[in-house]
Amino acid sequence: MKTQKNKTLYWLQSGGCSGDSMSILNLNSPDLFSFFSMLSIDVLWHPSLSTITYTEHDQMLEEIVAGERKLDILCVEGNVVMGPDGSGMFDTFRGKPKKDLLQQLAQVADVVVAVGTCASFGGFGSYEGDDIAGIGLQQHHNTQGGFLGKDFHSKKGLQVINLPGCPIHPKALESVLNLVARNLPVELGANNTPKCYYAPTVHQGCTRNEHHEYKVEENMFGEEGCMFFHLGCKGPTTHASCNTHLWNDVNSKTRAGVPCFGCTNTTFPHPSPFFETPTIAGTPLHLPEGVDRAYYLAYKDMAAEAAPQRLKKREE
């Protein structure tokens, strides 16, 4: 085995759009390259960042798979392409299904990280009738298992760490790599997502919370009120830190007047239309987590009556 003091990271690009790679390039304070350097992470391969030759890459992969070169962190971006007919030949590497390479790398990696919703839960191209027949690494929508199977554990005894998001927020990857590189435990919550980034909901920290409380609602994008009741905002049922770790440190969808469309959720992209709120008898079908429907309805109607004029008039 080639000795290497630093942590090593291999980034496998699978059935995805590269949006997660583009997103992590926006990491700042520190920037991505300083971040890797500070944590002594050697990026063995990333399709957008690496400059090694075709031959060097092949040689390196041979050594990793043979166990002659250590692989500390395997990051997978995009879902595992199984089409057509389970062959995986819609996504190949050197003429063979890329899913085979993924299987080999996952067996020798200390830690496996699913980067983005497609890698975590299937995401785009993962629904019945989708030709690529994509599936998540260890979860398919709400069902544990995915490509690697529910009993899979990495060499360090860990299940796949899911970092959903379409794209992933750079802070989510930063938080997790920071722990992994320091050999610290990553506490996982629902759907094997790290609590350090995915415990809050998008609703928490939204600047429209007061409008939500008083049911001051919008029908048009770009206005000031809450977008839960008509515009399909999924902030109260979506776990991510978008409103506590702002994008580019300045903004989020809801702050810009666009509803959260739940891109970290296990069933994203939803089969139902975006930007519409499904209702029962005029009230949202999906209420904020843990809320009793009867109490919610009574409370909301009273709250709407009590809404301050400044909110109704959209004044600061």
Q: Which residues bind ligand SF4 (CB under 6 A)?
A: 202-203, 206, 208-209, 212, 226-228, 233, 235-236, 254, 260
Min dist. Cβ of residue 211 to ligand SF4 (A): 6
Pairing of strands 279-280, 283-284: antiparallel
Q: Of 218, 189, 225, 205, which Cα lies nearest the Cα of 311? A: 225
| Helices 54-65 and 98-108, packing angle to 10 deg | 50
In sequence order, what are the residues at sequence separation of 6 or more whose Cβ sits closer than 8 angstroms to the Cβ of residue 66?
none
Given the complex with ligand SF4, which of 122 and 236 has the nearer CB atom? 236
AA identity, residue 175: S
In sequence order, what are the residues at sequence separation of 6 or more whose Cβ sits closer than 8 angstroms to the Cβ of residue 1?
67, 68, 69, 70
Given the complex with ligand SF4, which of 126 and 254 has the nearer CB atom? 254
Given the complex with ligand SF4, which of 180 and 226 has the nearer CB atom? 226
- Answer positive or negative: Cα dihedral of 307, 288, 247, 196: positive
Given the complex with ligand SF4, which of 83 and 257 has the nearer CB atom? 257
Min dist. Cβ of residue 287 to ligand SF4 (A): 11
Min dist. Cβ of residue 218 to ligand SF4 (A): 8
Given the complex with ligand SF4, which of 252 and 266 has the nearer CB atom? 252
Separation of alpha carbons 183 and 162, rounded Å = 18
Separation of alpha carbons 233 and 202, rounded Å = 10
Separation of alpha carbons 268 and 13, rounded Å = 20
Min dist. Cβ of residue 237 to ligand SF4 (A): 9
At residue 103's C-alpha, the angle toward residues 100 and 105, to 5°, is: 110
Given the complex with ligand SF4, which of 99 and 169 has the nearer CB atom? 169
Given the complex with ligand SF4, which of 148 and 263 has the nearer CB atom? 263
Min dist. Cβ of residue 291 to ligand SF4 (A): 12
Min dist. Cβ of residue 311 to ligand SF4 (A): 12
Min dist. Cβ of residue 209 to ligand SF4 (A): 5
In sequence order, what are the residues at sequence separation of 6 or more whose Cβ sits closer than 8 angstroms to the Cβ of residue 156?
110, 111
Residue nearest to ligand SF4 (CB): 235
